[in-house]
């Protein structure tokens, strides 16, 4: 891989900035300072150092974000804040995107990655990776409402949802596990069952719960065990 491409993909430097840093003599491959941005490097075999700090090469990055209210699950927007703007520079790299969308007013677990195949697999209903939500409802949760949601409810536009795993947590709170992610699905399911979602939070993806130590707006890398739980789940 070209040295400037490697730096552009593994750090928060743009490709242009990476070229400059290389030309300035700040980058070493092994023991040698390399000033050629096109220098070919094997990041799996060689140690690349930027301003004295070794680059921890990772082919792909996987971040767990605790999404706050009011930002959108997109990579770019001219008017609203996006989930990517919450990623601190030391964790940011080009190519990151949210694997699945939450509404602007939904909070909780968003997985950010640059691994397209992985994102596709955790989102595809075929792979049965459940997403867990806690919905706060306008009306008390009734057994009748839960039964409708459980049975694979038909939405008002005729779309039929797959059966969902749902239970009451308190008078106005329900936990719901879904393997599909239709537009506004949880809100539309409860609306079709005669209730209304007033707040929604995603608390887990597959068997990986949202880290309770992440404050709204904070993110961290997925731990190795968390990633392997999700990777094994998709198969
Ligand atoms: N279902 C919804 O209605 N909204 C979300 O953000 C996620 C699931």
196 and 216 housed in the same domain = no
- Work out how many domains the chain is built from and give that number: 3
Separation of CA 92 and ligand 1 centre (Å): 26
Cβ 230 under 6 angstroms from ligand 1: no
Mutate to test the pocket of ligand 1, among 65, 68, 102, 201 (most ligand atoms within 8 A of CB): 102
Q: What are phi and psi of 93, to 5 degrees?
A: -150, 155
CB 159 within 8 A of CB 78: no
CA of residue 104 to ligand 1 center, whole Å: 9
Tell me: do 171 and 76 sit in the same domain. Answer: no
Q: Is 103 in the pocket of ligand 1 (CB under 6 A)?
A: yes
Residues 180 and 82 in one domain: no
pTM of the full structure: 0.89
Task: Indicate if 153 and 200 belong to the same structural domain.
Answer: yes
pLDDT tens track, the chain, 235 positions = 999 999 998 888 889 999 999 999 999 999 999 999 999 999 989 999 999 999 989 999 999 999 999 999 988 888 899 999 999 998 998 889 999 999 999 999 999 999 999 999 999 888 889 999 999 999 999 999 999 999 889 998 999 999 899 999 999 999 999 999 899 999 999 999 999 999 999 999 999 999 999 999 999 999 999 999 998 865 5
> Shortest CA distance to 189 belongs to which of 151, 219, 139, 232?
151
What whole-number distance in Å separates Cα of residue 133 and Cα of residue 176? 5
In b/e form, how buried is each residue of 116-153, taking b as 16+ CB within 10 angstroms?
Answer: eebbebbbeeeeebbbbbbbebeeebeeebbebbbeeb
Burial of 59 (0-12, 13-18, 19+ CB in 10 A): exposed
pLDDT at 126: 85
Residue pair 107/69 in contact (Cβ under 8 Å)? The answer is yes
Two tokens at 40?
Answer: 């070919």
Tokens of 5: 């491409």
121: helix, strand or coil: helix
Quick one: pLDDT at residue 127? 85
Same-domain check for residues 72 and 136? no
pLDDT digits (tens, 9 = 90+) for 174-183: 999 999 989 9
Spatial distance between the Cα atoms of 232 and 3, rounded to a whole number of angstroms? 33
What is the maximum alpha-carbon separation in the chain? 70
- The answer to whether the beta carbons of residues 182 and 161 sit under 8 Å apart is yes
183 CA distance to ligand 1 middle (Å): 7
Q: Check pocket membership of 102 for ligand 1, CB cut-off 6 A.
A: yes
Q: Can you give the CATH number for the domain in which 23 is found?
A: 3.10.290.10
Cβ(208)–Cβ(222) below 8 Å: yes
DSSP 3-state assignment of 218?
A: coil
Instruction: Name the residue range of residue 31's domain.
Output: 3-54
Q: Is 50 in the pocket of ligand 1 (CB under 6 A)?
A: no
The closest alpha carbon to 212, from 3, 52, 66, belongs to 66
37 and 138 housed in the same domain: no
Do residues 227 and 111 both lie within one domain?
Answer: yes
CATH value at residue 103: 3.30.70.580
Is residue 30 located within the same domain as residue 82?
no
**Does one domain contain both 225 and 109?**
yes
How many whole angstroms from 185 Cα to the centroid of ligand 1?
5
- pLDDT the model gives residue 120: 93
CATH code where residue 160 lies: 3.30.70.1560
> Are 110 and 82 found together in one domain?
yes
């Amino acid at each position: 891989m070209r040295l400037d491409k490697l730096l552009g993909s593994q750090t928060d430097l743009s490709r242009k900035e990476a070229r400059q840093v290389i030309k300035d003599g700040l980058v070493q491959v092994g023991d040698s300072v390399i000033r050629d941005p096109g220098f070919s490097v094997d990041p799996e075999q060689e140690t690349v150092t930027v301003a004295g700090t070794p680059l921890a090469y990772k082919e792909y990055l996987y971040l767990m974000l605790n999404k706050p209210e009011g930002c959108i699950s997109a990579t770019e927007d001219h008017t609203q804040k996006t989930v990517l703007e919450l990623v601190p520079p030391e964790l940011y790299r080009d190519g990151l995107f949210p694997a699945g969308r939450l509404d602007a007013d939904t909070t909780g677990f968003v997985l950010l990655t640059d691994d397209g195949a992985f994102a596709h697999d955790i989102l595809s209903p075929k792979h049965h990776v459940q997403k867990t939500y806690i919905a706060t409802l306008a009306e008390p949760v009734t057994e009748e409402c839960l039964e409708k949601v459980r049975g694979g409810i038909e939405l008002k536009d005729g779309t039929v949802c797959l059966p969902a795993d749902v239970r009451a947590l308190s008078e106005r709170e329900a936990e719901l596990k879904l393997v599909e992610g239709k537009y506004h699905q949880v809100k539309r399911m409860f609306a079709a069952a005669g209730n209304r979602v007033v707040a929604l939070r995603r608390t887990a993806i597959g068997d990986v719960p949202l880290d309770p130590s992440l404050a709204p707006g904070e993110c961290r890398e997925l731990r190795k065990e968390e990633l392997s739980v999700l990777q094994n789940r998709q198969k």
